[in-house]
Structure 1
Amino acid sequence: MADKVDKLLRNYFAGKIDKQIKAREMYLQFHREVDENIGGGRAQNKYNNAVESQMIKLETDYELNQLNHQKMIVEFWLSGIDKTLRAMLEMHYGKRMTWAQISMKLHYSETTLHLWKNEFKKSVEHYVDL
């Protein structure tokens, strides 16, 4: 059974993590919380700062921050790896190719490919809270 890091990498290489981030931003932009303060009296220092309120909402949302953090960590580790390893990860997680197909294409043994994948997963897993 696939673990959470595999799911994160599949989402990243399939482009789903960008869609999740955009969907969360849209949800926060259009979701209005109902003000249940029905007390009497007049608000004396009430300002309508829609742009500031929206920015605060986006910056303080836990789920959006987690998605952005996960994407940043994966991109950070991908920036420092060999192009063969990146191609292997894209084939496995993005194109969903079998290990035999990847092995034939890259001319490495399946054991070596598994070792590379596991090392990459450990490096990502250490910095991502899942």
Structure 2
Amino acid sequence: MPDMSSNQAPDPRYDDFLELAAKWEGFWGLYHHGWLLHTSDGQTFCPVFANREDAQSWGASIQTNHIPVPITLIDAIEHIVPDWRENGIMAGVSPTPALAPVLVAPGDLSADLLGALKTAMTKQFGRT
């Protein structure tokens, strides 16, 4: 679940991100000698995107030399997300030049990605 510390309605960008990440079994981050980390309202996050173009656009808006790099769901769940959890880093889903990211705790992101993948597989292959 996205960060619901405020009383705002859930941001549809998170559901869209989950659906596309499950469909393509991965998502995009920005990389240059390490994953880009950014801060919003005092919280460090790693920005992640459903597609390359959004990652590239946001990277250009903050004038970074990090480039869009695909992240497989396996790599995310087994390696990247545990590192975020250990270091107090949130996932920053789909930031735009006009909108702050949807901040999601690493454990929630893993569970939500697995749930979205299960849903996508059920839609594609039916119940087994």
Q: Report if TM-score (shorter chain) is over 0.5.
A: no
Which one has a larger percent strand, Structure 1 or Structure 2?
2
After TM superposition, the score normalised by the length of structure 2 is 0.29
Structure having greater relative contact order (Cα 8 Å, sep ≥ 6)? 1
Larger Rg: 1
Which one has a larger percent helix, Structure 1 or Structure 2?
1
After TM superposition, the score normalised by the length of structure 1 is 0.29
